[in-house]
Copies of this chain bind each other. A is one copy, B any other.
């Protein structure tokens, strides 16, 4: 594969003091927010070259090719940078329809709900946290 121009476009991405940038993945069809994760410069570059989401796992301290274990890869349709250059949005095709490591379609399955005066995070899978 011919190496892509890495000059200017990468320089406009603002990584934080840990060298990371927050990345939001959105499903191209349903427009659901699938997950939020982090990339460093190398994983962002690899995402662009590979056409699949490659994150930086903070918990494991290593490169994380999303789907490497589950097969739930994210095929990149579009990569967008925000106004400040410090957040990235990926528009993806979510292979298998499952983005979350819990097996949920996406990671945001806990709405804050109010029963009388009690607030709690409800689990849309049925359990009350």
Q: How many copies does the complex hold?
A: 2
Chain A interface residue count, Cβ-Cβ cutoff 8 angstroms? 42
A104 within 8 A of B: yes
A48 CB to closest chain B CB (Å) equals: 7
Docked CA distance A22–B102 (Å): 20
A2 within 8 A of B: yes
List 7 A-B pairs, Cβ < 8 Å: A8-B119, A9-B119, A33-B89, A79-B112, A80-B108, A83-B101, A87-B107
Q: Which A residues have a C-beta under 8 Å from some C-beta of B?
A: 2, 4-6, 8-9, 12, 22, 24, 26, 31-33, 35-36, 48, 78-84, 87, 89, 100-102, 104, 107-112, 114, 117-121, 129
